[in-house]
Chain A
Amino acid sequence: MNEHAEQSSEPNNQFVTFRSGDQEFGADIMAIREIRGWTPTTPLPHSPNYVRGVINLRGIVLPIVDLKARLGYSATETNAKNVIVVVKCGNRTIGLLVDAVSDILTTTAAEIQPAPDIARDETCQFINGIAVLGDRMVTILDMDVLTASLVNMGEQAARA
């Protein structure tokens, strides 16, 4: 997480922004591999509600995480307009289900504020900061933590 914060202190960081529910989120453009349309998933048994299942991405079995549900909201209603953002962190690849991709945001460090310390709940750990652009607010997500949580949570569950 800290690594990421350091990165974002450099000027001209680029983020891909996308909408999920009524909020706008951003992710480091370097972590985004591709953006593709929604395809029906194969559900995974014994999985949390935010894991929508797996799809075939050219031979890779890709787990799909519903971002809205991951952050504690209700599940995204899927239709053909939904978008899967393919994120690669380290050697892990996951798909993020969002409503739509907005644009690419270039910011300087000054424009990113640390997330306000209102709630130390689970969802906060994915948030790297907040970019304020006029009246728009974009929540910058930490993709490393998000992808790792999918696997690590599993390890904890498997140990239990």
Chain B
Amino acid sequence: MDPMEAIKQTYFQESDELLLAMEEGLIAMNNGEANDETINAVFRAVHSIKGGGGAFGFDQLVKFAHGLETVLDDIRSHKLETTPEITRVLLKAGDMLSDFVAAVREGHAVPEGHADEIAAELANLSGNSHASDSDSGDIEGLDFNPTLISFEESSPAAPCQKGWRIRFVPHPALYAKANEPILLIRELSRLGPLDVVCDYANLPDLAAIEPYQSYFAWDLVVRGEIERGAIEDVFDFVMGDCDLEINELTSGAQAETDPSVLPQKSEAPSKPVAAESLPPPSAALGAKPLVVATEGKAGAAKPTIRVDLEKVDRLVNLVGELVITQAMLSQQVHDSNIPANSPVNTALEELDLLLRELQESVMAIRTQPVKSVFQRMPRLMRELAAQTNKQVRLLLEGESTEVDNTVVERLSEPLTHMIRNAVDHGLETPDDRVAAGKPAEGTVTLSACHNSGRIVIELSDDGRGIDRERVRAKAIEKGLIAANAVLTDEETDNLIFLPGFSTANQISNISGRGVGMDVVRRSISELGGKVVISSSPGKGSRFSLSLPLTLAVLNGMVITVGDQTFVLPLTHIAESMRPKPAEISPFGASNHLLRIRNSYVPFADIGRLLGIERGAYVPSNGVAILVESQGSGRLALGADNILGQRQVVIKSFENNYRPIPGIAAATILGDGRVALILDVDALIGLCREKSGMSSKIVERKTGT
């Protein structure tokens, strides 16, 4: 990859993180939970995106980001008070900035005028704050006035005796990160009248000048009623890369320095700090294309590294192999009649423990908080609310719940569908809500938590709940249930998951684009998860998704069919039994039904479904395993024996071979042999196909 491209990729990766940070901050501002640090964080994020974008010549992006930055700057310097109106514009602008970043990443320009409206609103906001007319005060309401007045007082006032004396000694690293003292000084001059004295006492003879060194220092005096924080903000980006001394004018030179802000400064030196004590700047050159981190801030993130996912996967694979090899070794030792208390066995046990720990640690590398998915939802919610003219508040809970990244990646789509559905169908219009005695603003809660080795994600709304009469009428109309079917409330609610339930005659822009809740259920089912609805009319609905923590490992039941071993995913197994001959009855020419407590379930021999040759098969000599699929119903599978339950590592073979109907993947058992993992959905499909039953409802998956 050419180096520029690599830097660009880094920029986009960092932009993603910055955009998330920005959105998080903006939402906090919107909820009125923002403090100065939040606003600063948002400002820094936008500033960094702008700075990096400028380096690559993304002019449109830079121009837009600049507008946004100006408004944020006004807010953080308290020239502009945050109001719901302003945060709304900011959120929109944030979304727009994401669009810009996405557009330049894809390499196409944003259509002209796409962001004009928002840009104009932004310009309007910043314009208002600078203008001294009372317009903005009238619009934004009373709480806006006090700040406005204090601002007016401070700027044009006569030179006052209060102020700050600042000694600013840049380190070489400051220049290496492409910062420019003149800009900082200019920024400072906006706070009040400024006296600037450059201290060049350190400047050596021309011949001795090292171009990468830093020789200048500045003594600055800024006058006015200025908060210390405002001055520190100016130097926010360069805090670690300079010696900075801020002393109040009136209280003399011995003003206290805040140790948390100036960690490297313990006393006030009277002469400029020599530059030679500083680290060589070459290390800093190019190492950081963007100035992002400001160390020492409250709640600083733990140090992290970015690792290529492939490398992690490789590690996971290797550890998996190690576990298998260890199991084989144990077996060998066991078979060779070595006494149990021999040193060999003790060492093996030790190895076993270490491997377990290793495996857990490696798996933990792959986990990430669901936050990365949840973070995308507020924007979706805002857009939905705007499209449907509904007022919605999205609450996120348990964002830090960790789950394997394979799961996280595939959560986004079903969650998006569900949220669309909740807003479009679940929530009422503000008028209806008020009429029903509810607050006009609807609440949608998205939460995640760990529960007995699975992750449970819940989406609940306080809308009207599922209209069972309508659902039932529609299901009958679509021919999904018989007109006289007797259904419990729960069964009725579950009808919305049937394929073909969501249909074309109700296409709105939001839900009902031909994809319905059946897609949600299928994608959750593919992840080895389950969806449960509970709904109470008038009060709202709750969708609960229960998912495995990882897709790399599966809990399975090991069974034998003939001389072959298979693994059946435990999540699909309802129960297993030894059928009595009387419980199996022929049905039609070649089908069988199994009676389970007064209900009949289709019974199919796995050997027959997969075409395995073996001797005469008598179902009552073997076992029947009742499997359930959320999409396709129930089926009793006939096998010869159950060997036990085991956690297996899923291995795909589809890169080297084609997909096989009925087989989901393969795994390697403790003896080193390959066993195939059965695909329950596909088996039910195969069963219907073989027996000529209608497969209308079952969309057979022929492999992905």
Contact = CB atoms under 8 A, between A and B. Distances in A.
A154 B658 CA distance: 5
Interface stretch (A27-35, A86-94, A134-142): A86-94
Contact of A45 (B657, B660, B702, B703): B660
A44 B656 contact: no
Interface string A39-68: 011111111000101111011111100000
B179 interface: no
B676 interface: yes
B657 A63 contact: yes
B676 A44 contact: yes
A61 B703 contact: no
B673 A42 contact: yes
B504 interface: no
Interface string A91-115: 1111000000000000000000000
Q: Chain A: interface secondary structure?
A: mixed
Given A61-B666, A155-B658, A158-B702, A45 B612 contact: yes
Contact of B564 (A43, A46, A93): A43
B137 to A, nearest CB: 66
Contacts, number: 85
Contact of A54 (B320, B655, B674): B674
B321 interface: yes
A10 B7 CA distance: 41
Contacts of A55: 674
Nearest to A55: B674
Contact of B611 (A45, A59, A60): A45
Interface string B607-641: 00011100000000000000000000000000000
A157 interface: yes
A150 B611 contact: no
B396 to A, nearest CB: 39
A42 B651 contact: no
B660 A58 contact: no
A118 interface: no
Contact of A91 (B655, B666, B675, B702): B655
A159 B702 CA distance: 8
B519 to A, nearest CB: 21
A1 interface: no
B656 A62 contact: yes
A94 B656 contact: yes
A153 interface: yes
B651 A157 contact: no
A150 B321 contact: no
Contacts of A71: none
Interface residues of A, number: 32
B370 interface: no
B657 A154 contact: yes
A132 interface: no
A151 to B, nearest CB: 6
B655 A92 contact: yes
Contacts of A54: 653, 657, 666, 674
Given A42-B674, A44-B676, A158-B702, A59 B610 contact: no
Given A43-B564, A44-B676, A59 B657 contact: no
Interface in B492-549: none
A61 B610 contact: no
Interface in B149-208: none
A43 B675 CA distance: 9
Residue of B565, B655, B662 ringed by the most chain A CB atoms within 10 A: B655
B659 interface: yes
B317 interface: yes
B296 interface: no
Nearest to A155: B658
Contacts of A150: 656-658
Contacts of B658: 150-155, 157-158
Contacts of A42: 564-565, 666, 673-676
Contacts of B320: 59
B434 to A, nearest CB: 54
A41 B676 CA distance: 12
A47 B673 CA distance: 19
A57 B574 CA distance: 34
B663 interface: yes
Residue of B610, B658, B676 ringed by the most chain A CB atoms within 10 A: B658
A47 B675 CA distance: 16
Nearest to A41: B674
B661 interface: yes
A66 to B, nearest CB: 14
Top 5 A-B residue pairs of the complex, sorted by shortest distance between their CB atoms = A154-B658, A45-B610, A61-B653, A42-B674, A59-B321
22 contacts: A42-B666, A42-B674, A42-B675, A45-B660, A45-B662, A45-B663, A46-B662, A54-B657, A54-B666, A54-B674, A55-B674, A56-B672, A56-B674, A63-B653, A92-B656, A93-B656, A150-B658, A152-B658, A154-B658, A154-B659, A158-B702, A158-B703
Given A42-B673, A62-B656, A159-B702, 5 more contacts: A45-B612, A51-B657, A54-B653, A54-B674, A63-B653
